[in-house]
Amino acid sequence: MPVIITLTTDFGARDPYAGVMKGVILGIAPEARIVDITHEVPPFDTEAATFAVLQALPYFPPDTIHLVVVDPEVGTRRRALAAAGRRARFVGPDNGVLAPLLDADGPARVFDISQSPLLPEARSSTFHGRDVFAPAAAHLAAGISLERLGQPIDTPTAARTSGPERRDDGWHGRVVHVDRFGNLITNLDTRHAVELAALRVEGMTLPLANAYADIAKGTVGALLGSAGHIEVFLREGSAANALRAGIGTPVLGVIV
């Protein structure tokens, strides 16, 4: 059965970078099935990349390889990693983007592939997606073991941002994603929702609805979305535009 390789990058659709990576993969592992999760991660935003893959992770079959390239430190001494969790494998830079994925799919075996003899010696200092990460994912898909590809390490670099914080007045979180509808997806999830009576954002207190249509058109509300995260929405409109809010906007989950 062909191995699935997913791609998540901040390369966008205009430039050829994602296509070049696919060409590299298919040159090494022609039977691989390549699936795009997204190439529209905001530039350099490792947290947004992690969020995107976390949403997709449960829905891919076992042994899928998730290749994540959001790499502000490309060309520096930051490590390149390949790892295997309980169900999936992962390839990407050691800049915090992989750590939450490994936690979600752990326990994980993690390997430093920076000096792998199986990867090209000639490398651009600006495009490790092509010269390091795509070949590594392809070799894994072709049957090369992690042990042959790199050297084991104990701990990858932690994520750059922390999760929600519980204080006396409730759960303090923030917006971590804005979808194409203008919904503000927060880092408060099902674990927090069971305690919450409302969500406060930009001076508004929003009771939690069950569905978008529970409130009147043009009204701002909050609910637990399909990805298991509390989100702020404007019925049939953009909450991001209406509230002038975006990634990083603070929210407060009011405890019952």
Judge whether 171 and 165 are in contact, CB under 8 Å. yes
DSSP state of 59: G
pLDDT in tens, 216-238: 999 999 999 998 999 999 999 99
Inform me whether the pLDDT recorded for 162 exceeds 80: no
Q: Return d(Cα 17, Cα 39) in angstroms, integer.
A: 10
Inform me whether the pLDDT recorded for 78 exceeds 80: yes
For residue 176, give the 3-state DSSP assignment. strand
pLDDT confidence tier of residue 30, bands split at 50, 70 and 90: very high
* C-alpha distance from residue 251 to each of 22, 39, 162, 238 (Å): 39, 27, 14, 17
Residue range 128-141: mean pLDDT, rounded: 98
For every residue of 199-238, DSSP letters joined together read EEETTEEEEEESSGGGS-TT-EEEEE-TTSEEEEEETTB-
Residue range 79-100: mean pLDDT, rounded: 97
For 4-153, give the CATH class.
alpha beta
**CATH fold for the domain made of 165-255:** Elongation Factor Tu (Ef-tu); domain 3 (2.40.30)
Q: Please tell me the pTM assigned to this model.
A: 0.92
**Count H helices, E strands: the chain?**
8, 15
Kindly report the average pLDDT of the chain as a whole number: 95
Q: Which residues of 128-141 are buried (b: 16+ CB within 10 A; e: fewer)?
A: bbbbbbbbbbbbbb
Judge whether 181 and 174 are in contact, CB under 8 Å. no
Q: Return d(Cα 111, Cα 164) in angstroms, integer.
A: 29
pLDDT confidence tier of residue 52, bands split at 50, 70 and 90: very high
Helix H or strand E segment including 66: strand 65-69
Give the whole-number percent of the chain exceeding pLDDT 70: 100
From the CB of residue 10, how many other CB atoms can be counted at a distance below 10 Å?
Answer: 22
Domain boundaries, the chain: 4-153, 165-255
Q: Return d(Cα 52, Cα 213) in angstroms, integer.
A: 25
